[in-house]
Chain A
Amino acid sequence: MDDPHRTGLDRPLRGGAVRQAGRGSLLRLAPPLTLALMILPVLAGLAGTVIPAFRNAGAGVASLFAWPGLPRAAALSLGTGLASTLIALALTLLILAAFAGTPTFARIRRSLAPLLSVPHAAAALGLAFLIAPSGWIARLLSPEVTGWQSPPDLLILNDPWGLSLTLGLITKELPFLLLMALAALPQLDADRRLTTAASLGYGRIAGFTFTLLPDLYRQLRLPTYAVLAYGMTTVDMALILGPTLPPTLATQITLWMGEASLTMRDTAAAAALLQLALAISAITIWRITEILVQNLLVRAAFQAPRLPNLDRPAAAAARAASLVITGSLTLGLAGLALWSVAGLWQFPDAVPQSLTLRTWVSAAPALGQTTATTLAIAATATLAALILTLACLQAEATLNLTPTTRALTLLYLPLLIPQIAFLPGLQMLTLPLGIDGTPAAVAAIHLVFVLPYVFLSLSGPFRAWDSRIATAAATLGASETRIFWRLRLPMLAGPLLTSAAVGMAVSIGQYLPTLLIGGGRVETLTTEAVALSSGGNRRLIGAYAALQLLLPALAFGLAIAAPLLLWRNRRLMRGLA
């Protein structure tokens, strides 16, 4: 411990953080503890993957490379991941550039934020029903516009190029990236930068690109990598929307893992390692592109193009993009909701012939218990993640610890490694301990996936918090503890609640960890919904999807409403809305 009696004035200011070591010893433990919690399960699980991949003289690796579908499956994984991330990020930035600080932006935010809580599987099923040849769009237009009496034989879903899958991923990742950006914006003093740029004659787009984008992207980088890794390794969405001949690599791994004969597990393990290598390559490609774009931007900045003519088309494009995204997801989910009360509903009827509550009535008894379990697990994991994240960040700020890039990468390990690669190995380890099959064990494994997201969404705003406020408070005699509880935390209420909502949504959406570590005994809305979705019953899927939406949507509603209420008389604390 450093000398605790020094006053605020003689503390050196380094890296924008106020150096003080009040109760440093306990806080000092937080980062290593958190890292251990993140890394140990992944490493243990990975060991359970590496060993089978290479045993028997590498039979798994050999059989993987003998699989004729490998090049295409790998290319699909890489292609859909990169394309969906690129488009989702571009659209996010476009929307921000065109509308940040305008009333339109508040509207877009309100319509997109709830969509973040939509579980991937539900979003995919909704989208599938919307765009299928027998889907809602075709039903609405038939037979009057299209002349179709029966659905046309068009390959829209499961197309070999993964276009439907890419679209599905974009609709899910755009709200996530946008919300991450929103959490960061207030800390960047965005209003003033944009105003200054505008006063110098820059158009909105140019002003945003040159004054805000570099700092904003710094905070969006890790969320973007997480989106990229997720897009490449998603299974539930790829099962519903993705190609099947062959499927993406991650889907194929799941199929091999599930093979009844249990003979393909070594192949699956080898494929999981390849998937890991692919994810690392994709992030490397992304990083190189970042540097190139950065150079281009710097060069362009010296030309100082004002580009005011760009604003109108950009605004139109941003409006169209957000409309398509919100529209497709909302309509798709509305379609599912309608299915949950539908009687017979045949093509080309635009609406069901009859409505019935039969689905809901028969599902009702199972729902109460399942909802309670889901909520309890999500709340436990999220609370633990928040405490650990805050402890880490506070330790970083007050003890002047600089997080190394390696530590950060390690923290995101659970997001970058395909779940299917390390969970079965992990399950083998929990068995002898006798802790599997309990909600507590499931909450613990959820923490591994929830924490990175909570950290991702909270660390940016936390670090960007203006430390001069702390300096000022310290010169007035406030202790570090008091500064934390009375200034930092309340001022970060918005990002804090958003992180909590993200954490809840992540936990509620977990399928594989719940199934494997829960031993099938811990039933959540998502395990139930995915089990049902294998049966394709749109009515029941609709009912479960509606409930799956409701819990996270409530959390996000709270995250948005609470700061508005809390800060109703402090405009600058409410972000740019």
Chain B
Amino acid sequence: MHRRTALQLLASLPAFAGLSTKALAAEWDGILSEARGQTVYWHAWGGDPKINDFITWIGEKAQERYGVTLEHVKLAATSDAVARVLAEQQAGQTEGGAVDLIWINGENFAAMKSQGLLYGSFTEYLPNWPLVDVAGKPATVTDFTLPTEGFESPWAMAQLVFEHDTARLPQPPQSLDALAEWAIANPGRFTYPQPPDYLGTTFLKQVLYGVMEDPSLLQSPVDEAAYDAQVAPLWAFLDRLHPALWRQAKAFPQNEPALGQLLADGEIDISFAFNPGRASAEIAAGNLPDTVRTFVLQGGTIGNASFVAIPFNAAHRAGALVIANLLLDPEVQARAQDPAVLGFQTVLDLQALAPEDRARFDALELGIATLSPADLGPVLLEPHASWMTRIAQDWTARYGVAQ
């Protein structure tokens, strides 16, 4: 149903009307000329000044290369933008929408896609799409087990890494069980963001990977009949861990930056982030001491990709396509991976790049606290989005309403 809607919308874009796939690619010039002079409203989380600065830089590039003006609409939560598009859809506003581009993934993407709030399959029309490492980084086309079908375009890879200050904790635990033992032996020095926060729920999923009898079940939707038994080890793990957490688990940090701030303030000794380069970038920015290092757990940590998607009623589709393509540009990707800028991992296949573009990546310093790709270990795929929703709900029912 929503796919047909999307196709109709695709046809409504003048540059695409009545053209075959091949011809569409050839029409990129037409899109470029249509985009020139447009202002693209990119709704993206605005909580991190480093990311905000990066988006500003993207805007300068877009202006310089394509005459496209980029406005970063800074959100406190991505769902604000989803709600906005939903409200427009309910109000019958099928064109001229406020949102041109959304930084999105996971459940927000699943919600928008299933409600027909997205514009359609567009990634294959992007000239830079062939550079994406679809085979080596399956997360670029599978978002929380949901095939993206081109409805969103990846622009950064993320992986869960743990952070510790060697000045206070020289030898961090190397496995989930060791982490739990360490936390229990050192009360008050570990915590995680309160679910349903994204990173907090990611931690729960990481624990699920460690304690579930058959973690491969995570790749399918939750099976209601077997669910309680499947997740029982998670609650047992948390019941044991909680009394030893920061504030005896009577309060939790609310998100990733708040967790990072606790590490910076010395309130906890181990923190974690969904960005292997975050610690180095924070050290470079003077927010963390240069004794902070990162580590991963044996067996791997959860990884995923960040995407951009175009709402069904975006007012400036051509401009949004140009930005989505620009985000896949090797120069832009290399800048995002620079730990002094963002420290995000690239979505591109370095082997597919021209030598001068590959050199941009080779020239990057990893950053003092960043693990090399080899040390990052295996990437665990995101569970199906229904797991995230379900365990976040149950967590809230169990721990979120303390009496």
Contacts and interface: CB of A to CB of B under 8 A. Distances in A.
Given A244-B254, A428-B90, A431-B91, A436 B286 contact: no
A474 B141 CA distance: 81
Contacts of A45: none
Interface in B36-87: 41, 43, 45-49, 53, 56, 71, 73-84, 86-87
Interface stretch (A298-306, A449-457, A536-544): A536-544
Contact of B78 (A133, A154, A260): A260
Contacts of A245: 194, 250-252, 399-402
Contacts of B262: 134
A346 B288 CA distance: 8
Contacts of B56: 365
A15 interface: no
Given A157-B251, A520-B43, A536-B255, A343 B286 contact: yes
B196 interface: yes
Which range contains the number of A residues in contact with the other chain?
Answer: 35 or more
A155 interface: yes
A433 B191 CA distance: 47
B30 to A, nearest CB: 27
A260 B260 contact: no
Contacts of A134: 262, 265-267
Given A134-B265, A153-B247, A531-B47, A431 B252 contact: no
Given A68-B397, A523-B74, A537-B48, A257 B83 contact: yes
Interface string A503-538: 000000000000100011101000110111111111
A113 B107 CA distance: 46
A496 B266 CA distance: 49
A259 B251 contact: no
Q: Could you say which of B80, B90, B252, B289 has the most chain A C-beta atoms within 10 Å of its C-beta?
A: B80
Contacts of B251: 155, 157-159, 243-245
Interface string A149-161: 0110111011110
B240 interface: no
A531 B46 CA distance: 6
Contacts of A539: 49, 287
A151 B267 contact: yes
Contacts of A313: none
B121 interface: no
Contact of B47 (A239, A535, A538): A535
Contacts of B255: 534-536
Contact of A346 (B46, B53, B92, B266): B266
Contacts of B108: 260
A356 interface: yes
A465 interface: no
Interface in B75-134: 75-84, 86-88, 90-93, 96, 98-99, 106-108, 111, 115
Interface in A340-380: 343-344, 346-347, 354, 356, 358-359, 362-363, 365
B264 interface: yes
Contacts of A427: 87
B92 A521 contact: no
Given A153-B247, A260-B111, A347-B266, 10 more contacts: A67-B401, A69-B401, A72-B403, A153-B248, A359-B49, A432-B91, A532-B46, A534-B257, A536-B47, A537-B47
10 contacts: A134-B267, A245-B252, A260-B79, A346-B266, A431-B91, A523-B73, A534-B76, A535-B47, A537-B47, A537-B48
Q: Which 7 A-B pairs have the closest CB atoms?
A: A535-B47, A69-B401, A153-B188, A134-B265, A431-B91, A531-B46, A536-B257
Interface of B: 41, 43, 45-49, 53, 56, 71, 73-84, 86-88, 90-93, 96, 98-99, 106-108, 111, 115, 168, 187-188, 194, 196, 246-248, 250-252, 254-255, 257-258, 260-262, 264-267, 286-289, 389, 396-397, 399-403
